[in-house]
């Protein structure tokens, strides 16, 4: 008898089973523009009508070594939200409406139940973000991954009218910066977090340090990335003339706010805000400068708006249940100021 594909490490039947299991998840995210169900060679999505000079906006990302925490804890139903959040939160900074999302799931040996949980989390997040889970790829690659591990990548496309693109070009001195809280680390800095918590502090995912207020280390680390599309939609729908938006990811505030500011401008941050407990725990072993340039410090997204529209921005966010943070204001910086130094902490 010849050698089968299953004996070589690839289970075609398991892959087919997964496709059938995830079809209902994709169906629940369907939007009117989607033209075909999951299962074909390609996903089909029409460009929405009523948009003058529609511009497509794309983004891609992963969740980094946060996956290692999922492997340690066996919790796989929230990591999909991280994947969607890291991609969708990027493209909405342009004012785009997210249209669809695709995922890549690669593993050495396919565990259908684990993969189903991951994709279910992706679908739930897509539904919350208002975009369709249009398709994806599951790859069983024997010998490429350690037993019980997998990798994720996500891809998203949105659309915005050319005249309504938010690109930061109109940011001016005196503009106000309004922040939205994060849920924790989101999906950045986990190599440092794991080194501090598991190696230096000798904690385990099930430990409950006093600083975490009853949560386990695993629960705090796996808090899913917040999704900000509805917040952006609320502010834009309120008629706020948003000058720029920033998704606070790897690099923290110093590495992300300057990305949407003209070269001669920076951000002077105001009074300190409350940081997530997991950040305060990590801060026991990491210097402040390093914390600032690695983690989001509790701010996941920021709006830059004219000073006379800051109150309207806050009102729009409060109306949807948010508690926005007055982060500070845009200021002029001396010529030659280093990139990260353009964010001035109190």
Identify whether residues 331 and 271 lie together within a single domain.
yes
**Torsion angle of C-alpha atoms 229, 128, 319, 96, degrees rounded to 10:** 20
247-287 pLDDT, tens digit each: 999 999 999 999 999 999 999 999 999 999 999 999 999 99
In a domain, 169, yes or no: no
Query: What residue numbers bound the domain in which 152 lies?
Result: 12-38+47-164
Residue 29: name the closest of 139, 124, 158 by CA: 124
Residue 1 counted as domain residue: no
Whether residues 201 and 299 fall in one domain = yes
- My answer on whether 65 and 188 are in the same domain is no
Distance separating alpha carbons of residues 134 and 37, to the nearest angstrom: 8
User: How many C-alpha atoms does 175 have within 13 Å on its Cβ side?
Assistant: 28
Which of 107, 137, 164 represents a domain boundary (last residue)? Answer: 164
In a domain, 2, yes or no: no
Residue 7 pLDDT greater than 80, yes or no: no
Mark whether 138 and 234 lie in a shared domain: no
**Same domain membership, residue 215 and residue 182:** yes
* Whether 34 contacts 44, CB under 8 Å: yes
Are residues 100 and 236 part of one domain? no
140 and 199 share a domain?
Answer: no
**Which of 105, 129, 164 lies at the terminal end of a domain, its last residue?**
164
Find the CATH number of the domain harbouring 55: 3.30.1330.10
Model confidence, pTM? 0.95
pLDDT value at 40 more than 80: no
* Placement of tokens 């290692």 in the chain: 68
Q: What is the pLDDT of residues 151-190, one digit of tens each?
A: 999 999 999 999 999 999 999 999 999 999 999 999 999 9
Residues 110 and 214 in one domain: no
The residues, any chain, with a CB within 8 Å of residue 196's CB and separated by 6 or more, are 282, 285, 286
The confidence score (pLDDT) of residue 1 equals 66
Q: Pull the structure tokens for residue 33.
A: 């523009």
Q: Residue 243 in contact with residue 168, Cβ under 8 Å?
A: yes
Q: pLDDT digit string (tens) for 236-256?
A: 999 999 999 999 999 999 999
Residue 210 lies in a domain: yes
What phi, psi does 58 have (nearest 5°)?
-125, 160
**Looking at residue 258, which CATH number applies to its domain?**
3.90.650.10
Number of domains forming the structure of the chain? 2
Question: Residue 267: inside a domain, yes or no?
Answer: yes
Q: Is there a single domain that holds both residue 156 and residue 127?
A: yes
155/182 same-domain check = no
Same domain, 203 and 144: no
SS3 content of the chain, % helix, strand, coil (to 5): 35, 20, 40
Instruction: Name the domain boundary from 143, 164, 185.
Output: 164
Please report where in the chains the tokens 């929230």 appear, as a residue. 78
- The answer to the question of residue 6 being in a domain is no
- pLDDT category of residue 3 using cuts at 50, 70 and 90: confident
In 126-283 the beta strands, taken as DSSP E runs, fall at: 132-140, 150-161, 176-181, 244-247, 265-269
Tell me whether residue 7 is in a domain: no
Asked, for residue 136, whether it belongs to a domain, the answer is yes
Give the end-to-end CA distance of the chain in Å, rounded to a whole number. Answer: 73
Residue 324 Cα distances to 148, 178, 201, 274, 316, angstroms: 40, 6, 33, 12, 10
168: left (phi over 0), alpha (psi -120 to 50) or beta: left
Reported as half-sphere exposure (CB side, CA atoms, 13 A), residue 329 has a value of 11
Q: Are residues 237 and 319 in the same domain?
A: yes
């Amino acid at each position: 008898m010849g050698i089968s594909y299953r004996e070589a490490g690839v289970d075609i039947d398991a892959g087919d089973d997964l496709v059938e299991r995830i079809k209902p998840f994709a169906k629940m995210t369907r939007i009117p523009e989607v033209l075909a169900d999951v299962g074909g060679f390609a996903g089909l999505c029409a460009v929405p009508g009523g948009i003058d000079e529609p511009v497509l906006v794309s983004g891609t990302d992963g969740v980094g070594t946060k996956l290692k925490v999922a492997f340690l804890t066996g919790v796989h139903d929230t990591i999909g939200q991280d994947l969607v959040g890291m991609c969708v939160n990027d493209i909405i900074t342009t004012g785009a409406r997210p249209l669809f999302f695709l995922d890549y799931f690669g593993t050495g040996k396919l565990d259908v139940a684990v993969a189903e949980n991951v994709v279910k989390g992706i679908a739930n997040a897509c539904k919350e973000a208002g975009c369709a889970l249009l398709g994806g790829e599951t790859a069983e690659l024997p010998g490429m991954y350690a037993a019980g591990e997998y990798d994720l990548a996500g891809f998203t496309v949105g659309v915005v009218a050319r005249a309504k693109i938010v690109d930061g070009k109109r940011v001016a001195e005196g503009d106000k910066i309004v922040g939205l809280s994060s849920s924790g680390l989101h999906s950045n800095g986990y190599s440092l977090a794991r080194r501090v918590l598991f190696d230096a502090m000798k904690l385990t995912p099930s430990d409950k340090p006093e600083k975490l207020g009853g949560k386990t280390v695993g629960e705090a680390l796996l808090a899913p990335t917040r999704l900000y599309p509805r917040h952006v939609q609320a502010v834009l729908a309120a008629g706020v003339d948003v000058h720029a938006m920033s998704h606070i990811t790897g690099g923290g505030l110093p590495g992300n706010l300057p990305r949407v500011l003209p070269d001669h401008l920076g951000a002077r941050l105001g009074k300190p805000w409350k940081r997530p407990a997991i950040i305060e725990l990590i801060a026991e072993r990491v210097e402040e400068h390093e914390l600032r340039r690695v983690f989001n410090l509790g701010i996941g997204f920021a709006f830059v708006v004219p000073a006379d529209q800051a109150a309207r921005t806050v009102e729009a966010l409060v109306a949807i249940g948010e508690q926005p943070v007055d982060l500070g204001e845009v200021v002029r910086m001396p010529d030659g100021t280093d990139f990260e130094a353009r964010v001035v902490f109190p």
